[in-house]
Structure formats: C-alpha cells, structure tokens
C-alpha cells in the first residue's frame, strides 16, 4: 500500500524549543531587574538640582549639581547639620533652596549679639557672626514639623531668619542633599 502524499489539512504540532523559552525568560528577567534597579536608584538618588547662589559656600557652589535623597525623610526626620532642599513656603514657582538645618522641632531659637543660640547654647553650625537677626531677634520655639535653616555662608543667605521664608515646614522639604557632582573648587563627594 502506498501512502497518499497529497494535500493535508491537518496542522502539525510544533514542538516548543526549551532553549528559546529559556532565552525569552532571561530577557524578561533582565528587563525586570533593570526596571527594579532604575526605581531603586530613583528613590534613593531621588532627583538632581543645581545650587542657586552663594549661600552654601564653601560647602556647595553656585551652579553645582547635587543629588537629593527623597527617600531619607520618609523614614526619619531631618537632624541638625543636615543639608536639605526645600521650596520656601511650598511655593511651586520658586527655585529650590538649599540650606543647613540648625534647629529642629521643639528647639528654642534666638540670635543675640550676632550669635545663633539653640536651646541656650551657641550653634556649632553657624560659626560667623550674624549681622541680620530677622525673625530670630526674639526667642521662639519651633513647632511641630518646623525646622530652622541657615546657609553656610550666612552673611549672603536668605534663609529661615527672613520673614518671607521663616521656619521650613516638613511638608515643603524635598529631601536631603547627599552627594555633590564634581566642581573645580571641591571635586565630588558626599555632603557633610
């Protein structure tokens, strides 16, 4: 008997090649890992912004790029000495301000004879004599979610002493500056 080799309308089942399945799986896994790493970097590096002005010299310079950790303050509160990025009074039309936290929630703040006192002790974060006392001329206590911030170059800084900025509210803080991009004066590195 001879087999009929004519037209056949039956589909032959294709065998799945395990090597191809494995390769597709590895591609998908690689893409998922890349997306995960990108998300983690975005959370921890947060965002990047430029320093505007000379108020943070010699720590940061005008035009220098800094990385902001936007995740840090989701799990902890700002501490004295932290360099933070915030929008003054939440003003979305303003540039980001970068200043150092010198007093935290519940601290008593006053400037007398050009010296910043926090809880009746001279602040170690402000070493030069302050010419402008601003709102800190009269002693006050920082409320819940408020931080008193001053630029490292306090003689050329618009900061929490100014009535139009005042104490920085926690909700207006974008994050903590943790890394600076290279610049001629400082090089690159972590912000202290």
Quick one: pLDDT at residue 186? 52
What stretches in the chain show pLDDT beneath 50?
none
Residue 20: helix, strand or coil by DSSP?
Answer: helix
160 is catalytic: no
Q: Is 24 helix (H, G, I), strand (E, B) or coil?
A: helix
Q: Report pTM.
A: 0.72
The pLDDT value given to residue 111: 93
Structure confidence at residue 80 (pLDDT): 93
**The tokens of 102 are what?**
């010198």
Give me the pLDDT at residue 192, please.
Answer: 53
The active-site residue, picked from 55, 154, 157, 160, is: 55
Q: How many CB atoms lie within 10 A of CB 100?
A: 25
- Give pLDDT, residue 107: 94
* Residue 180 confidence (pLDDT): 80
pLDDT of residue 93: 78
DSSP string, 31-75: HHHHHHHHHHHHHHHBEEEE--SSTTTTTS-TT-EEEEESSHHHH
Is 13 a catalytic site residue? no
pLDDT value at position 84?
93
Catalytic residue, from 94, 99, 108, 169: name it: 99
User: Could you count the other beta carbons within 10 Å of the beta carbon of residue 77?
Assistant: 14
**Distance (Å, whole) CA 104 – CA 136:** 14
**Residue 63, class by beta-carbon neighbours within 10 Å (0-12 exposed, 13-18 middle, 19+ buried)?**
exposed
């Amino acid at each position: 008997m001879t087999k009929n080799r004519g037209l056949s309308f039956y589909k032959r089942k294709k065998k799945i090649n395990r090597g191809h399945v494995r390769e597709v799986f590895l591609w998908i896994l690689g893409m998922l890992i890349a997306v995960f790493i990108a998300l983690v970097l975005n959370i921890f590096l947060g965002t990047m912004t430029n320093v505007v002005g000379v108020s943070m010299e010699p720590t940061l310079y005008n035009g220098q790029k800094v990385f902001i950790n936007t995740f840090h303050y989701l799990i902890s509160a700002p501490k004295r000495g932290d360099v933070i990025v915030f929008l003054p009074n939440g003003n979305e039309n303003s540039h980001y301000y970068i200043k150092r936290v010198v007093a935290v929630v519940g601290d008593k703040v006053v400037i007398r004879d050009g010296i910043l006192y926090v809880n009746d002790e001279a602040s170690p974060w402000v070493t030069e004599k302050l010419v402008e006392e601003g709102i800190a001329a009269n002693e006050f206590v920082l409320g819940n979610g408020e931080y008193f911030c001053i630029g490292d170059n306090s003689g050329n800084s618009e900061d929490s002493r100014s009535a139009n900025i005042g104490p920085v509210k926690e909700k207006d803080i974008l994050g903590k500056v943790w890394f600076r991009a290279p610049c001629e004066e400082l090089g690159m590195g972590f912000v202290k």
